[in-house]
Amino acid sequence: MDIALEEAKKAGQIGEVPIGAIIIAENGEVVASAYNRTIEQVDPTAHAEILALRQAALSANNYRLLNTSLYVTVEPCLMCMGAIVHARVRQVIYGAKDPKWGAAGSLYNFSEDVRLNHSVKIVQGVREEKCRELMQAFFRAKRA
């Protein structure tokens, strides 16, 4: 999660919402790292998770990311959880909950929807306080 937090800080430094994500292979290798870039790329899909999924898929030369773990500083949204399910990521580990957009337990819970053809293990609250503080500080500064 520390690497994801460093990625999130990069986003905040360029005025993006500070969310960072990394993907870890089964052997523990970091295969992708990314941060939010929706403003910079003029792309509403350029969330940290989506960018990390794209990078990992290119690296693996496979759109299926079996046996991988995605670490992200904030609970994934609907779009990101949809992509995570499609990619067959094994587990998502996140820091802070997102009660307004979260789709891994807060607003929705894609991981427990038996109608989907893949189930993602969810681990929440890893470095939660640090992840939440980073978001709160960013939005406090924006409002000031």
Active site residues: 49
Assess contact for 126 and 93: CB atoms under 8 A. yes
Distance CA 128, CA 135 (A): 11
Tokens 């094994």 belong to residue? 90
AA letter at 27: N
Q: Cα–Cα distance between 70 and 50 in angstroms, integer? A: 11
Using a CB cutoff of 8 Å and minimum separation of 24, what contacts does 33-37 make? 33/3, 33/4, 33/7, 34/7, 35/7, 35/8, 35/10, 35/11, 36/8, 36/11, 37/11
If you ran DSSP here, which 8-state letter would residue 110 be given?
G
